[in-house]
Structure 1
């Protein structure tokens, strides 16, 4: 599959605009753990995921991470081109959660087309609104939802993404996703294990009672 079939509004571009994007395009293959974009000082360009999985997160002053959203096949990331959106006041880091193939559209090229094309401008605004909705949803979770429910929701989400109940994931990784400390997550997971919801082993968490996790998450 080529870029044209992945870019959602390709057919709404003029032939000249299509050519400008293709001429600015670079294709990258990145390994799991690679930081692709690092804060506002880094204007990487717009990312379009061909395959794999990316994670966008922010850092607290104390160096704690918290995931704000994830990107999968066909997802587009605007925050990696924050230089064309001056209103963005927080720094987002984007890293590969899995080996990933992606396209990078040069920021200045996209900005030029966005300024002259109503479909591109509308698409960009919709995408930005969706991402800010993700951030607002996250803030609500942090403010109003207890950590045990957030951990349960995270484990259920991971099982859905991986299509398996046996998850190769560390307590540190979960803490980074949820903006918590590893020791706190470890205590919570041990409680889950004592309640028969999960089974813990080195580098692995196995969900043993999905229904009980769901009930906890829904309480």
Structure 2
């Protein structure tokens, strides 16, 4: 884990505002958490955890975001979810509960400040009803997200998923084909070929690291699996 340990923010109330469950802990539990937690500052693009790495603790993101992805030996990645302030990582909790190593990779997307709760303290806090309910609610939310991802990958064609990804990001997207491929768990060559097809149909206009949406309704029909009308 590439990170700089920083002093606890002290009176900074961001942690409690982002994670109200911490205020519901018993005074003894809160005191142990404050005494044991590590505060880490990580730059954008830093590796927080990796496949087959032991889990060091339970992270609470206060600033920035972490992108969690499943990695193949070929180097391809399938994004699973992002952890933003106020959220936490189901894979970390799963590894801690099951005493297993990580089976995915977490990379910071921007400068990130997080609080890492050591495993022993995490285990103790599971005895607190509020914290245990928080962890189980996290599982329910993330599993619902992952089921939606499975549905996307298994039952929607890549061109539909790409069309959906382009929508809702404004008239002009300043993004590389590689970035879109990473978001879709695909490869740049396939995404570039699909984008060229979109351009040939008049749906988009392509230029260097930029995509201009020309026919948003057409993209919506494509994303929905409807045939495009000439």
CA, structure 1 residues 33+122, in 2 after alignment: closer, same or farther (shift >3 Å)?
Answer: same
Distance of aligned partners of 1:183 and 1:42 in 2 relative to their CA distance in 1, 3 Å threshold: same
Write the distance in 2 (CA, Å) between the matches of 1:90 and 1:27. Answer: 21
What does residue range 76-115 of structure 1 map to in structure 2 within 5 Å? Answer: 76-86=88-98, 91-114=103-126
Residue in structure 1 matching 2:216, options 206, 210, 218: 210
Specify whether residues 66 and 199 from structure 1 end up closer, same or farther in structure 2 by C-alpha distance, changes over 3 A only.
same
> Residues 87 and 214 (structure 1 numbering): CA distance in 2 closer, same or farther, change over 3 Å?
farther
What is the TM-score with the length of structure 2 in the denominator? 0.82
Equivalence for 2:159: 148
Question: What is the aligned partner in structure 1 of residue 8 from structure 2?
Answer: none
The farther-off stretch of 11-20 and 94-103 is 94-103
**Contact 1:47 1:78 (8 Å CA) reproduced:** no
Query: How far off is 1:65 after superposition?
Result: 0.5
- 10-19 or 87-96: bigger deviation: 87-96
TM-aligned CA deviation for residue 56 of structure 1: 0.8
- Segments of 5+ residues of structure 1 without an aligned counterpart are none
1:117 matched residue in structure 2:
128
- Report the TM-score when normalising by structure 1: 0.85
CA distance in 1: counterparts of 2:93 and 2:50, whole angstroms: 11
Change (3 A) 1:81 1:126: closer
After TM superposition, the structure 1 stretch with the greater mean CA deviation from structure 2, 63-72 or 43-52, is: 43-52
- Give, in angstroms, the shift of residue 89 of structure 1: 8.3
Bigger drift between 98-107 and 60-69 goes to 98-107
- In the TM superposition, residue 193 of structure 1 has moved relative to its aligned partner by 2.2
Give 1:67 deviation, angstroms. 0.4
Q: Secondary structure at the match of 2:59?
A: strand
The answer for the alignment partner of 1:135 in structure 2 is: 146
The alpha-carbon deviation at position 77 of structure 1 amounts to: 1.4
- 1:172 alignment counterpart: 178
Is the CA contact (8 Å cut-off) linking 2:68 and 2:104 kept in structure 1? Answer: yes
Q: Which structure is higher in helix share?
A: 1
Offset, 1:137: 1.5
Distance, in Å, in 2 between the alignment partners of 1:141 and 1:89 is 27
Runs (4+) of structure 1 exceeding 4 A deviation are 87-90
| SS of equivalent residue, structure 1 residue 85 | helix
2:193 aligned to 187, 190, 198, which one?
187
Indicate yes or no: 2:15 matched with 1:3: yes
CA distance in 1, matches of 2:221, 2:100: 37
Q: 1:33 to 1:206 in 2, by over 3 A?
A: farther
Report the CA distance shift for 1:51/1:148 in structure 2 as closer, same or farther (over 3 A): same
Match of 1:126 in 2: 137
Segment of structure 1 superposing worse, 47-56 or 142-151: 47-56
RMSD: 2.3
1:190/1:166 CA distance change after superposition, 3 Å = same
